[in-house]
Structure 1
């Protein structure tokens, strides 16, 4: 389907000037900082304060306005929000927000979803001005952003409702994941400390050191220097921190295959459970294997609740971490506990996959509906 350019600009839907209403010093307003806005278009924190506490020079907005981050990298990362659920009628926020106010011929959420399109971000990224690290999208670029199709107000409202309904579904899944994760954390604290015993297990727990449960291996022979960050290769290249999979490689020489293991970051003490063939990027890792008296998955979960303060930038495993005392049940109870926690992880992972699926569906719907490739019946 070929869509002709509508000749309409985003600026045709938004006010060119934001007029500030009178506010008394005792009136409550909402304050929103840049960190209070997520990268998926949500307000994650609102501070209700009196107008007298507001610093001069902040950005003024009202309920139903749309916020768009103007500065790099916040703009590229889609920071912004529709303020239809604002807790007060007026508010102030970061000076790095643009405020878009819908005209009478426009639906605020329809405008918001346009600002969340990848197309919008990519095009306006090219028009950013300023020096590196301080580049910003000028307001005139937003005003002159061309729309693919001129939707009637009725269509705008219909599109906004459809996409809002998908957002509600996504939010419900996110809340469920958060609930499941909190339940798992509570279960870990009970089962991994012996505060709660599983039925059928009564044997005593033994105190020992981490090194009594795990062997360690240095990673040098498994290091891969050439990494495809787009992950087109067959073999993942790992780290033990939050990034986990840094990329891939097709170099099959010296892959780690004696699985499963725990990858341990020697500087941050973060750890990852790995049950697939891999290579590593850095020597700042220890590869940990369980001894005969330990279940590797149980030990991994136990490591997640071990308190450890990271101070100086140094390697910790040999000098300190492996000397930590831990309380451990008999092997069969370790396996049973690990299975329960592993089942919880599988449930959470399935929900996370479902979440990503709906996010992709929403992204596709936005692109089709907002560009006119798919029309809704009025």
Structure 2
């Protein structure tokens, strides 16, 4: 039979201290690197967010980080934490962070896992002070109850969760690397700076307005959409929320709309390019998806979209999805979009754009390379999502004590 763990508190097991109050008007001393709230992410330190501040000799003694210190956000996303592993040879920490050092050898990897478990389980609201943003005061933090497995069991749980954390971080780094490679490919191939083997012909100017027609859209609110009606509906919000520039409308989950509400809507075809015509963010201007499949029941362009149908002899299927990443198109849209709080793209604006493009054979070759890069990232994201699911399941079992690891003396 599994025995329950003894219970301690954060304050009994850890020294808990807030960091240095930074005040540019008052701080004096030697310029030193420091970690602030923004630099502490779940399980890792963002070194690009490390700042520099003057510290006195007293500050240097009090606030210098040691290998194994656990840094925990006091405000903002309360409880978010990471372990300091001497990422820099010398570093300090700001008042927006609690620094935890074990008094009796409590495993910081287990403590970090508990922080994440408490965060996802909604435990922290019972301890925070809420003003304009949430804060976790030290006096309340040290009172939080803490399970107290044996040292061997702490280490074993910490190792297991650290292994899945390492996998998650490796996948994140791999995705970031692949995204950087993809960005370079887009910049090189879509501008003609780099040509694929076998292609050397001159690119020509193409006025989009000469080769486009537009499909009728129908504006429906989210409240008018459902999940049961047969016809799929492309909403501008769903375009903004996507990473993939391709839309497999026959297989992907899309909102639905009653046929009675869609009498005036056109039906999308394979190769149609659907733009979100409004954005509050400049990065969202020109965001679009190319339709790669349609269901038998049909799919329609919806609220705040522009559905463009280009002549296939001028713009190849598969290539249109990447028009939005051509620098000259983005520059033109940013220069000409109308509106203040909301940036609006129009049919006439799209029709006014002239691009320098290769012939359709080269377009297909470019699209094939870029699609492969997108596919690699999509596969890694699926692996990352599965790893996160595994971690969540492990935490629910191990940190609640429902499942105990063998070889730790945890049963009686």
Instruction: Please give the TM-score of this superposition, normalised by the length of structure 1.
Output: 0.79
- The 5 Å alignment of 1:176-215 reads 176-215=174-213
- 1:214 to 1:163, Cα distance in 2 relative to 1, 3 A: farther
Contact 1:102–1:111 (Cα < 8 Å) also in 2: no
Distance across 2 between alignment mates of 1:174 and 1:232: 36
Residue 167 of structure 1: CA displacement? 2.0
Distance across 1 between alignment mates of 2:395 and 2:228: 28
Distance across 2 between alignment mates of 1:331 and 1:108: 57
Question: What's 1:155 paired with?
Answer: 153
Contact 2:306–2:347 (Cα < 8 Å) also in 1: no
- Deviation by residue 1:305-353 (Cα, 9 ceiling, x = unmatched): 2332357524233454432221112222212221221122111111111
Question: What's 1:6 paired with?
Answer: 6
Contact 1:68–1:80 (Cα < 8 Å) also in 2: yes
Distance across 2 between alignment mates of 1:232 and 1:161: 46
Distance across 1 between alignment mates of 2:345 and 2:53: 48
Question: What's 1:101 paired with?
Answer: 101
Query: Is residue 318 of structure 2 the alignment partner of residue 297 of structure 1?
Result: yes
Is 186-195 or 4-13 further displaced after alignment? 4-13
Please point out which of 22, 35, 43 is paired with 1:41: 43
- 1:17 to 1:224, Cα distance in 2 relative to 1, 3 A: closer
Distance across 1 between alignment mates of 2:301 and 2:101: 50
Distance across 1 between alignment mates of 2:11 and 2:203: 69
Contact 2:17–2:98 (Cα < 8 Å) also in 1: no
Distance across 2 between alignment mates of 1:110 and 1:341: 42
Query: Is residue 364 of structure 2 the alignment partner of residue 363 of structure 1?
Result: no
Q: Unaligned stretches of 5+ in structure 1?
A: none
Contact 2:219–2:302 (Cα < 8 Å) also in 1: no
Residue 114 of structure 1: CA displacement? 1.0
Residue 16 of structure 1: CA displacement? 4.9
Residue 160 of structure 1: CA displacement? 1.9
Residue 354 of structure 1: CA displacement? 0.8
Over aligned residue pairs, what C-alpha RMSD do you find? 3.6
- 1:151 to 1:33, Cα distance in 2 relative to 1, 3 A: same
Question: What's 1:143 paired with?
Answer: 142
- The 5 Å alignment of 1:1-378 reads 4=4, 6-16=6-16, 25-26=29-30, 29-38=32-41, 40-45=42-47, 47=50, 49=52, 51-52=54-55, 60=63, 62-63=65-66, 64-72=68-76, 74-75=77-78, 79-93=80-94, 95-118=95-118, 122-131=122-131, 133-147=132-146, 149-217=147-215, 219-221=217-219, 224-226=222-224, 238=235, 239=237, 242-244=240-242, 249-253=255-259, 254=262, 257-268=268-279, 269-275=285-291, 282-283=303-304, 285-292=305-312, 293-306=314-327, 307-308=330-331, 309=334, 312-313=339-340, 314-372=343-401, 373-378=403-408
- Deviation by residue 1:93-140 (Cα, 9 ceiling, x = unmatched): 2x3323322222312222111111156650112443233x32323334
Instruction: Please give the TM-score of this superposition, normalised by the length of structure 2.
Output: 0.74
Distance across 2 between alignment mates of 1:236 and 1:5: 52
Distance across 2 between alignment mates of 1:138 and 1:339: 54
- 1:248 to 1:101, Cα distance in 2 relative to 1, 3 A: farther
Higher strand fraction: Structure 1 or Structure 2?
2
Q: Unaligned stretches of 5+ in structure 2?
A: 21-27, 244-252, 280-284
Residue 145 of structure 1: CA displacement? 2.6
